[in-house]
Amino acid sequence: MIKRLLVVFAVLAATISFSIPVSADGATSQTQNFHGTFPPMQVTPLCGGAAPGGTVYATGNAVFHITVNAAGDTWITQTQEAWFTLVPDTGTVTYTGHFAIWFGVSLNRNNSVLHDVFNIHATGSDGSTISLNIVDHLSMSASGQINMFMACR
């Protein structure tokens, strides 16, 4: 699910970044708010199978913000929270709960940083629980050095 979200946000960020002219005077910002039901999303198992894959149905809120300055430096953030139901691909346990996601990107001519935090709390129809905190980071320096980590607990 995280990889899918990262790809979606990266494509959205690139689309918005390149749609704002670099020659624009000063910084240009855009903010988009979403409220209500999100489209169903197919997810893969998380954290080594601690959360099963399946289809997520969610209702919540999201805010997406982007700022691009005259030099083309770009800052992007997205925050989302939702109540959800996860119907697993296999098994009979359905999970209901809440998730919160924060995602941020900083890009300039020399460096780029991408990081996010994802928290999930859910209860299964059998009484089992899922509680996960996922943090990941990816950065690339001007020399091309890539640093990346992911923590899942």
DSSP state of 151: E
CA distance linking residue 109 with residue 80, whole number of Å:
28
**Sheet containing strand 112-124, strands side by side:** 28-43, 54-68, 74-88, 95-107, 112-124, 129-140, 146-152
> Phi and psi (nearest 5°) for 20?
-100, 120
pLDDT tens string, the chain, 153 residues long: the values are: 545 444 444 544 555 555 555 455 689 999 999 999 999 999 999 898 889 999 999 999 999 999 999 999 999 999 999 999 999 998 789 999 999 999 999 999 999 999 999 999 999 999 999 999 999 999 999 999 999 999 999
